[in-house]
Amino acid sequence: MQTVAIPQITERLQHLSADKLAVIYDFVSYLAELEKKHAIRDSLSEAYRTMLASEQVLRRDWDQPEEDAAWENL
């Protein structure tokens, strides 16, 4: 992937119409939100990520009639 600096981007932006700039602004905003979500996801502890990953597998054991019967009086 080619390395691009902000001044290069600014130069190109100066030649675009207002409607194209609006589209670019929306896209950059979307990318910024994605970056923020990834930063949050990446900051989760390894133990928490393991818990989330194992939940679906463990659900097979939890969603059994025997389990429901064992816990129904608690």
For 8-50, the pLDDT digits (tens) are: 999 999 999 999 999 999 999 999 998 888 777 777 777 788 8
pLDDT at position 35 is: 87
pLDDT at 22: 95
Q: Check residue 21 and give its pLDDT.
A: 95
pLDDT of residue 64: 86
DSSP string, the chain: -----HHHHHHHHTTS-HHHHHHHHHHHHHHHHHHHHHHHHHHS-HHHHHHHHHHHHHHHHHSSHHHHHHHTT-
The residue extents of the domains of the chain are 1-43, 45-74
The pLDDT, as a whole number, for residue 29 is 94
Overall pTM surpassing 0.85 (yes/no): no
Residue 5's pLDDT is: 95
